[in-house]
Structure formats: structure tokens, C-alpha cells
Structure 1
Amino acid sequence: MSVQRFLGANSREAMRQVRAALGDDALILSNRNVEGGVEILALADDAHGRMTTTEQTRSAPAETPSGESATGLRSAADASRQARAYASQAVARTPPPRQPEPPARPAEQPAAPAQPDFAALSERLLGEMQEMRDMLGRQQRERHGDHDPLARLHQRLWSAGVGPRLSAELLAELPAELDAATDSDAQDAWLARQLAARLSVPRDEAALFDEGGVIALVGPTGVGKTTTTAKLAARYVMRHGSDGVALVTTDSYRIGAHEQLRIYARLLGVDVYAQDAEAALDETLARLADKRLVIIDTVGMSQRDQRLVRQIEQLSASGRRVRLLLLLNAASHGDTLEDVILSYRQAARAANNRLDDCILTKRDESARLGPLLDSVIRHGLRLHYVSHGQQVPEDLSLADATSLVSEALRVEDDSPFTPEFSALREPVPSGQKRLTALSRGLLGQGRALRAALDTLRANQPGFALVEGAWQLAGQPLARQRAALDGMHGAQLAAARETGDRGGLTLLWGGQRVNGCDWRLPCGAVSGEGRLLASGWQVQRLPSGDVERLEWSAQQLGPEAHVLAAMPSSPALAWLSAWQLPWLAAAKPNQRVELDGQRLPLAELATLATHDSDIGCRYQGRRLTLALHRLSVRHAAARGNNDAPPLSLLTAVPVDLDSGRRLTRRYWLAPEAGDDESRRLIARQLLLAELPALTRRAWQGLADAGFDGGDAELRLQLAHGLANVALSLAHDDDEWAMDVRAQLLALLGSQRSRQASTLLDALIHLFTARDVFREVAA
């Protein structure tokens, strides 16, 4: 079947192209709106005729099952019905098999006319019909999103109970690595990481217990405040003993509430104090001033009770700061949870207090955790504990984001309350709704910003130094210069810590960057091949190649060196004496010795023999390098016969995506470190990208308003941002893929893995964070 595709600005233009190319008798297979206009798939009438004609001698006009003529522009459904009708007629007209006759003599044998092979024709028709059905089925599935990973992930979130607003925020930018992937497990793992990154949980109980103070458990009736109070007290007693904790109950409405808490307190060996819900807490809390932790069990109150604000005011009016913990019922409907959180937070603000912490209760009674996680994430609450039963203290556990998200997404049965994503389209807001949508979008960006920063802090070595440099760049010039020495020491300490875990490779740039009056700082790569987000500027290092190498050995203890150019003879002698692996980039006209002759590297490339193939990334491309090797000697000064043996490494990089061959590259390395040299080539390519990227960051900081600050601090920050962007572009780990998607979603960019795009997104990330902080202040 010769199916052709036509694209026009509108339906009329697309149909004009169909008639011009295929005539008025063309068969229309499908038409749909696409980006840029209307797309029509059409088939020539003669191609369709070959599919439906059964006998060449029949010239009667073709009739559809409804009796209409088959000429003109027809739909795919009519064509399919017509093909089925002709197929059945062809099978019905197939003659029965004849009995074999005795062969006639050659002279008497008549010339029989050729008979059409109706069985073969029928088989062909059935095949063509199946092909057409497959095509229509594919189009139908595409319209319903069956092959769209975003549609599948949307449906997965909705089935788990996560609402459309948070779903749209999470799926704003799917990583390019997963967009066309057929591995649904990888897509689901990415989705789980996005949810877990936005769910704020404490790292351990020290965040709550070690801080001490006064904690008040608040929430609607029946949510489990009294039982949770006893569970918290029991966990505190197990960590710190019973002397430093006391319990207070204000629940004078519920029969037996005081006695229930007294029983728990007696078992734990702690003091409990009861008072009326309307009474002030000043005197009680004054008597408990020596207690490290006081837990208040408040009276349950509906979120729509008019007395709610007065209750929070009484808790907040005492002389001590009261930290509010909201208990949320995991079995509640999403709208109910939304109402509870909004009402209690408004009451806290009215009482000049804050409500930022919560505890999940009745986990064992909930069918889906998605609605609760949705509400907690969107409102930015910190989830401390999860209660999943009545036993004290066993049925209370510290909140773990990964396990909670995994349980929320592990939903096997469909819900009658979950809509189908393919059946819904979010309407365009207008008027006041547009302002509400804008505020929700800003909150979503804030959550994505925080998730990206948290992930970078946890995985990118030295990222905290970049944050510190950015914050310092916004301060007065005198304070910037006063902090530079301390920043230099912090960089050394962070690099030593990374080196102790897996070793360091130093990247010696040192060359002057085109268009700038500064030199590229010295950088470092961790043992896993990840760039450190810090470096050391030339003016802070000793003068002289050997002196700098000595400094690096004393301060950092690197395991290898990568150089932008061939080291000087003294530096080469130092490296040989220390027997450290090294690799230097070389130019085609650089000369080395071979068989007593000084020859340029370009002339020796044809003499090198194939060594191995290397795969790596460079400037956003996936490359393969067929590495060739040749033994040469350093072209030392005349009269010096102690030139060390070297390995000339050369390769022509090939772009795996386009197949294009790039410019040949050359490297020199010690002959003894053949295996190490292959590993260092990928790191030298990182160093080759840094000058232009650092220059771009330098200019980007000027655009961000940092051009009037200290030049050393600005270069330090530019180099750190360039390192982070380049590390993200090259890293294939899941965390890097997640951060790339988050950064590009904040930037509103196309899915690009270019380091320059990621650098722009990083500057946007820090700028947006400053704006959010300023608005919050």
C-alpha cells in the first residue's frame, strides 16, 4: 500500500494537496490536527483498485454494501467494508477443483485461456485488509494515548489518588531518555523519585525530639491524637528516658479521655496533667519549664468549628513557643484533607503561629495513600511519623518517603472514582481562575526548585560551595573579599573528603580563555568520574609547574593528572619520579622523537596501530573513539638523551547519532600507563569543554547582576556552575536524569542534554530561589 502524508495549514489546504497529487478519487485514511496544521493520510485510487478488483474482465462499477458508488473521496471505514465484501464474493466464485483428465496428444491439445488464481487473490485481499485494520488501530491507540508515556504516567498517578494539579506538575518535563523508552519500569521508577523528592520527611527523630520544647497535637475528632500522644512519649522514653518528658491533655469533652492518657503515662513512668479545654496553659507550662519535651493532647475539633481559631490562640498564647503537629487521617477523601489543612493553617496564622508539620494516622485503614501524599506535598508540610494501628508504641514509624511513595503507587485495582486521562482535557482558565492557576504554577515551580536543589546537594560533590559563593556574591564587596580565604580552605577540605572516598584526578587548565583576562582554574574529578563543583585559581597556587605539582601532592594527594598541554621537562621529570599516571592533550604540529627523528604528530598518525574503542560524551554528543597507539619519545632539548618513552594516542571521534566524523585528536601519556590512559581520555574531554562553558557562566553572572562584585569570587562561581552543568550533561545516573528534567522544566526549554542549556537553567534556578526567598521575607 502506497500511503502518502499531506500537511496543510488547514483542512482545505491539505485537501487541495491530496487532489493535486492523487486526484479526486483518492482514498482518505485519516485526518487529524497536528502541530503546524492538519495532517491527512491518503491512498491513490489505483492502489486501492488493485486491492479490490477480482477479475480484469469485469468492468461493472464497484458498489459498497449500502449501494453507494465507490468513486470520489471515501473514508477508511467504507473502504474496509468494501474490501470485505469483495473478499467474500471472490471466495464464493472460486470454482470447485476439477478431476484430472488424461493428457491429450500435443497435436490435439487446445490452447486454454489463463484462469485467475482466486485463492491467491483472496489471501492477498485478506492480508491487505489486516494491514488496513492495523493502521487504523495504531491511529486509534495514538489518539487515546496508549503509546504515550505521559498519558500512562498521568493515569497511574490518578489511579493512585494523586490529583491532576500535582500530576501536571510532576510530569511537566519527562526526561528525554524516557520519552521514547518502552521500559515502563524505568518510567515508573522515575515517577516514584519525583514524588519522593517532593515529600518532605525528617532524616531521623532528632529533628523532633532533640529540639525539645512544647508540641501540641491538633486535628479533627477521631483522628487518633490521644493514641499518637502516647506513642510519641514512648518513643521519647526509649531514646532519652522518662525524666525529661511530660504529657498534658485538654480533652475534657470526650468521656474517659483523661483516664486513657493516664493509663499510658503510668505505664511509661511519665507525668500527665489534665486541664479544661477553655483554660489557659500558662500556669501548666510554667510548672513544666524543667521538662525537655512537653506533648499536649488537644481536644478534637472539626475544621469547620468556629472555636478552632480560639483553640489555636490558647495554645499559642502561653509564654513558651508551641509547635503544632497536625494529624491527618489517611483514610479521608482528598477534598476533606484539603479542607482540614487549609482551615488549621489559617487558624495558626490568625494566632501568629505556624503549622508546618504533620503526622499520618490510620494508614492501615486507607485504600489509597495518594490523596494524602498529594495534599502534604502541595502544602509543603513536613511528614514526621506514620501511624498504622492501635498498639503503643509499635504501630508508629518514622516517615520514609521512598516506602510511602512505593505503597501509594502500588495500586492494582481500578477505582470507580478515578477518571480516564484520555477522556479529560484541562480547560483554559480565565479571569480569577487564571490568577489561581498562576499561583498554583508558582507553588509547583517552588517545589520543583527545592527538589532539584536537594538532589544536587546530595549527589553533586561540592555543590554547597557553589550555593555559598552565589549567596556571597550578593553581599557588599568588602564582605566578599574578606570571605575568600575561608572559601579557599573550604574547597580544599571538600576535595580532600571526596578524594578519601574514591580518589581524585586533577584537571590542569591554566590556559588563558579567549576573550577573557583570566585563566581557567584547576579542577578535579572524583573516582566515579564526577566533576567537583569547585576549583583553585592560578593566583592562589604556587608559581611554577613543579611547585604546583608539589602543592597538589601535599594538599590533595591526587591519583592522576590531566593536562591541557604537554608538561614542561621539569614537570615531566617530577611526574616520572612520582610514577603518577598523567595524560596531556597535544596538537597536530607538536613534535616527538621516533627512531631518532623529530616528527610532528600529524605525520605519525598513520603509523599508530589500533588499541581499543572508547565510548564517551563530548559537547552533547555520544561519541565512539577508535583509539590508536604508537610508542614515541619526548622531544627533549638537544643534547639531552634522557627523554622518557611516551605513548602517542590518537583517534577520530565519530558521532554515534549522525555518523559524522569529527576532527582527529591527539594525546600523550607515559608508556607504562596504557590502561590508565584510556580512562583519562574521557576526563581530558571534560577539561576541553570547560573554558567555553566557564566563559558563558562568567557572562551569565553579569546578566544576573553580579558584574560589580569581586572578580575572583565571580570566577570561582562561574567555574563551579560550569562544572555542575558539565557533570549533569555527562552523568548517566538516575539522579542526574531527574535533575536535568527538573531544570529544563523550570527553564521552559526543549529536552536538551547540552551543558550550555543546563548552565542557563542552573543560573535560572538560583535566581528563582532568590526571588522566592525575597517574596517569602
Structure 2
Amino acid sequence: MELQRILAKDTQEAMAKVHALYGNDALVISNKKARKQTEVIVAIDVAAKANETSTSLNSNKSRIFNTAKSNEPSFNEVIESKIFNSPAVLESKPTTRSPRDAVMPAHNILCDEDISSLQDREYLKTRELVDLVKKELSAMRRELKISQELETSQTLDKMTPELGSLISSLDAAGIPAPLRILVSNLIANESEVNSAIKLISKSLGSAIKHNPLIKDMKGIHVIAGRSSSENALMSLRLAKQKSREYSGQGICIINYSSEQTKGWSQTQILGLQSGIKTYHAGTPSALSHVIAGLEEPKLIIIETSGIDLQNQLTEICTEFPTAKKHLLLPADASEVSVNRYLKRDRISWDSVMLNQLDRDIHPWPIINALMATGNAISVASSDFSLEVEAFSLDGTDLTRHSLSNLPLAPK
């Protein structure tokens, strides 16, 4: 791989030169203003290497998870055997990082150690998916038991038919059983649906903390979630909004992952379109090197890959202890998925962000988890389009959204 520098009067002319000189396979590393010109850094001769990488990976797909099956397997063992060809619960292998400190991205030919690392990452994602399915089923059984106990309680018997219909609507919207019990007791003495909804919004909303992130977003912020693409999109959306406040100066996005991901490619393209500087770092030392080279940074947003999240955050925060950590969740996340990040991983989050908060989404599992863990809500977005801005969201707003457009709810 070689890095080449292109200078032109604007981005459009610079990209035209890139395509004319190096073709469509040239990888854009960064673009910025330099002495009243646009400077574009590109990596060339990457297509052949990408093909070699693909061929190398295809020839190394075999796994070695073979153990004897039990004569009378349990349900969990059946899942294990179907996915991993083994009923035994295998421990996740730690991701092996190669000691690369290169700041600029490149499609390198993978050695055996790199391939093994990628296979471990693939296994880790599959392992987490199977564990998530089993936890989802366990949560469903628990929800059913609590719901059955609630049906036999005297709280519902005291409610008017209208309030009973409201509770049924909340059930249809997926409200967790413990929160349903709390809401039922809360509105037991109400007589009208509108007053009950106001009481629910006020009571639950006030129990959720709020982080006014958009108003005072500066310094280093880490956005972490399940998907590198979703992390990239939220990072770009916030950087674009804040760039107007900072006149487009001192803002950048750093993709932090040991391997180049789809999120990084998305960040490069959209960063060019939005005028946001973008960088890639694969190791803690590379990340430090990138940040040390920035001139008068006002806002640095680090997006993670969505894999091995806890280790990534540990590496980042070891280098930059004051970095703010934000968890990005889809608004329709299940209770098990939410608890996986907010409870199991034991990470101290500075805020929770939401994406895909459409009008028909009722994020009751997130409300329940925020109340239980004390984490703060900060911002949300309702669309995948970068043109749709993120907006500040507090607990009351989130609860009101969840109570709107309820299925079967009386008008």
C-alpha cells in the first residue's frame, strides 16, 4: 500500500483527480483544508490485496468445535449442538490484536495469526448471539409467570374498563411485567385515561436521569453499541450538528477497531460529504498518536466496532480516562439485550443514546432498565438518514413517546 497526497481547489476536483489517477479502488484516508486548498490523502493498490484476503479467508473457514453429544440433551444443549456442533458451553476466546501502530487504514494481506483472530471474532459474535437467544427465552418464561400472577391480583378488578384497556394496550406494546405492575398500582385510583397517562409520564419520567449532551458536547466522547454502522452514523450525525457551532473547526471522528469494518468505510464516505475529518486507529498507541497530532481539537468522537465492546472501552479509557462513554441502543431493543449492556457488562456509562425511535416504537424495556440502573438518557434519532438531526431526549419525553400511538388504546 502507498499513501498519496492530492491537492485541489475543492473536494469535487480532488476526487476527480483521485479517480483519474488511481481509479475507483483508491481508498480515501482523510480530507481537509490546507493553505486554502483541499488536501485528500488516498491509499492505492488495495484491490488486489483485498482479493487475496478474501481468498485466504475462504480457505480457512473450518472450525474445530467437536465434542460428544449428550444422550438426553437439554434445550440449551440442543442450541449449542445446532450452532457449534457441540453441546458443551465453550468459553469465549479473547480477541488477539496484532501489534500494529499504523494510523492510516490499509487492506493488508492477512497472515495466519490475523486469520485466527478474525475467526475468533466470528466465533465470539455467534457465541453472544446464542447466549442472547437463551436469555430471551428465559426472560419470556419469567414474564409469563409474572403476568399470570398479575392477572390474579385485585388491582385490575378495581380499574375502570377504560384503564383496563390502557393496561392491555401497554401489554400489547411490550411493557415488561415488573413495570406493568408498577404502572397498574400507580393509576389504580385514577378514573380517566388522560389523567392516568399524564401521571405515568410524570412519575416514570422523573425517575430517569437526563444528560443534556448536545448543549455541551466537547472533549473526547466514545460511542459504543452493537453495530459499527450504527455507531458511525450517530457519530457523524452529532459531529455534523456540532460543526455548525464550532464553524467546522476542531471536530473529528476516529474509528477505533483492530480491523477495518463496514462502519469505517461508511465514516470515510459520509465524512467527505459532510466535511468532517475522519481517522482510523487500530491500537491504543495509534489512537494516542492520532489525537496528539490534532490541532486545537474541540470535539473528538471515537466510534467503536461493536465487537468485544468491554475490552475496547477499557483500552480507550486507559489512554484517555476523562473520555465520556455513551451506549447506543436501538429503540426497539429487548429487555435481555438492554440488560446485557447496562447490567451484565458493568460499564459506567455517561449516557444512553437511542436510534430508530420511530413513532410506532414503544421502548418500555429501555425505560425499565434506565429506572433500574440509574443511567441517564441523552439523545435520540428517528431515521437512518444523516440529514435527520439527533435531538435531546429526557425521561419524560421518552415516556410520553412510549405512551403515544398505543395499540388498542382508547382515543
> Structure 1 length normalisation: TM-score?
0.30
Is 1:186 the counterpart of 2:199? The answer is no
Write the letter of the residue equivalent to 1:217: I
Q: Which residue of 1 aligns with 2:313?
A: 312
1:251–1:257: 8 Å Cα contact kept in structure 2? Answer: no
- CA drift of 1:383 comes to 1.4
For residues 158 and 232 of structure 1, what CA distance do their matches in structure 2 show? 34
Alignment of 1:622-641 (within 5 A): none
Distance change (3 Å), C-alpha of 1:144 and 1:183: closer
- Counterpart in the other structure of 2:221: 215
The CA distance in 1 between the partners of 2:276 and 2:401, in whole Å, is 35
Q: CA deviation at 1:238?
A: 1.8
Cα deviation digits, residues 692-716 of structure 1 (max 9, x gap):
xxxxxxxxxxxxxxxxxxxxxxxxx
Verify: 1:248 aligned to 2:254, yes or no.
yes
- Are 1:142 and 1:148, in contact at CA under 8 Å, matched by a contact in 2? no
Structure number with greater Rg is: 1
Residue in 1 that maps onto 2:208: 199
Report if aligned partners of 1:252, 1:258 keep a CA contact under 8 Å in 2.
no
Q: Which secondary structure does the structure 2 equivalent of 1:195 belong to?
A: helix
Deviations 1:242-269 (A, max 9, x none): 1121111124545443332122222333
1:334 — aligned with what? 335
Residue in 2 that maps onto 1:166: 179
Q: Distance in 1 between the 2:212 and 2:309 partners?
A: 31
Q: Is residue 2:266 matched to residue 1:260?
A: yes
Corresponding residue of 1:676: none
Give RMSD over aligned pairs: 3.3
Partner of 2:115: none
Q: What CA distance in whole angstroms lies between the structure 2 residues aligned with 1:142 and 1:272? A: 57
Identity in percent: 16
Q: Secondary structure at the match of 2:349?
A: coil
Q: Distance in 1 between matches of 2:251 and 2:242?
A: 8
- Pairing of 1:550-565 with structure 2 (within 5 A): none
Query: How far apart are 1:223 and its partner, in Å?
Result: 6.6
Offset, 1:367:
3.8
CA deviations on 1:102-153 (whole Å, 9 max, x unpaired) are xxxxxxxxxxxxxxxxxxxxxxxxxxxxxxxxxxxxxxx9968344269846
* 1:253–1:331 distance in 2 versus 1, CA, 3 Å: farther
Matches within 5 A, 1:460-475: none
Structure 2 unaligned spans of 5+? 1-151
Task: State the distance in 2 between where 1:204 and 1:284 align.
Answer: 24
The structure-2 alpha-carbon separation of the partners of 1:320 and 1:393, relative to structure 1 and needing over 3 Å to count, comes to farther
Summarize the Cα distance change of 1:213–1:182 in structure 2 as closer, same or farther, 3 Å threshold: same
Q: 1:186 to 1:366 in 2, by over 3 A?
A: closer
Are residue 291 (structure 1) and residue 297 (structure 2) matched? yes
2:254 maps to a residue whose letter is: V
1:148 to 159, 173, 185: 159
SS of residue matched to 1:317: helix
Q: Which residue identity does 1:397 align to in structure 2?
A: F
Shift of 1:294: 0.4
Query: What CA distance in whole angstroms lies between the structure 2 residues aligned with 1:274 and 1:144?
Result: 56
Cross-structure match for 2:407: 413
Q: Residue 244 and residue 414 in structure 1: after superposition, are their counterparts in 2 closer, same or farther (change >3 A)?
A: same
> Per-residue deviation at 1:276?
1.5
Tell me: CA distance 1:279–1:329, structure 2 relative to 1, closer, same or farther (3 Å): farther
| SS of equivalent residue, structure 2 residue 306 | coil
Mapped contact 1:356–1:380 kept (Cα < 8 A):
no
Shift, 1:296, TM fit: 0.5
Structure 2: how far apart are the matches of 1:336 and 1:231? 24
Distance 2:311 2:344 in 1: 13
For residues 191 and 185 of structure 2, the distance between their equivalents in structure 1, rounded to whole angstroms, comes to 19
* Counterpart-to-counterpart distance in 1, 2:154 and 2:180: 20
Partner in structure 2 of residue 698 of structure 1 = none
Cα distance between partner residues in 1 of 2:322 and 2:358? 33
Query: Is the Cα contact below 8 Å between 1:235 and 1:393 reproduced in 2?
Result: no
1:544-588 superposed Cα distances (whole Å, 9 cap, x missing partner)? xxxxxxxxxxxxxxxxxxxxxxxxxxxxxxxxxxxxxxxxxxxxx
Measure the CA separation in 1 of the matches of 2:288 and 2:241. Answer: 26
**How much has 1:193 moved relative to structure 2?**
1.3
3-state SS of paired residue (1:364): coil
Matches within 5 A, 1:38-57: none
Q: Give the distance between the partners of 2:184 and 2:157, measured in 1 at CA.
A: 17
Going from structure 1 to structure 2, the CA distance change for 1:144 and 1:261 (only over 3 Å counts) comes to closer
Aligned residue pair count: 256
CA drift of 1:160 comes to: 3.5
Deviations 1:275-312 (A, max 9, x none): 225755222222237211100011112xxxxx443212
Residue 330 of structure 1: CA displacement?
A: 1.4
Aligned partners of 1:369 and 1:408 also within 8 Å: yes
- Within 2, Cα distance between the matches of 1:284 and 1:300? 21
Q: Which of 362, 368, 372 in structure 1 is aligned with 2:362?
A: 368
Quote the offset at 1:232 in angstroms: 0.6
**Pair 1:258–1:360, CA change in 2 (3 A):** same
- Displacement of 1:201 after TM fit? 2.5
Counterpart contact for 1:196–1:402, Cα < 8 Å: yes
The 8 Å contact of residues 156 and 409 in structure 1, kept in 2 or not, is answered as: no
Secondary structure of 1:237's counterpart equals: helix
- How far did residue 241 of structure 1 move? 1.7
Secondary structure of the 2:337 match is helix
SS of residue matched to 1:288: coil
Q: Which residue is equivalent to 2:16?
A: none
Q: Is the 8 A contact 1:219 1:326 kept in 2?
A: yes
Larger relative contact order (CA 8 Å, sep ≥ 6): 2
Preserved contact between residue 284 and residue 316 of structure 2 (Cα < 8 Å): no
The residue aligned with 2:116 is none
More displaced, 164-173 or 381-390? 164-173
1:150-549 correspondence to structure 2 within 5 Å: 152=164, 155=168, 157-169=170-182, 179=189, 181-203=190-212, 205-207=214-216, 209=217, 212-221=218-227, 224-251=230-257, 253=259, 255-276=261-282, 280-288=286-294, 290-301=296-307, 307-319=308-320, 321-344=322-345, 346=346, 348=347, 354-364=348-358, 367-413=361-407
- Residues 173, 406 of structure 2: 8 Å contact kept: no
Distance 1:218 1:255, change over 3 A: closer
Letter of the 1:166 counterpart: L
Question: For the Cα contact (< 8 Å) 2:254–2:278, is it kept in 1?
Answer: yes
- Distance in 2, matches of 1:370 and 1:294, equals 32
Please give the alpha-carbon distance, in whole angstroms, between the structure 2 residues aligned to 1:201 and 1:195: 13
**Equivalent residue runs for 1:560-639 within 5 Å:** none
Deviation of residue 366 (structure 1)? 6.4
Give me the whole-angstrom Cα distance separating, in 1, the residues matched to 2:406 and 2:322.
45
- Which residue type is aligned with residue 191 of structure 1? I
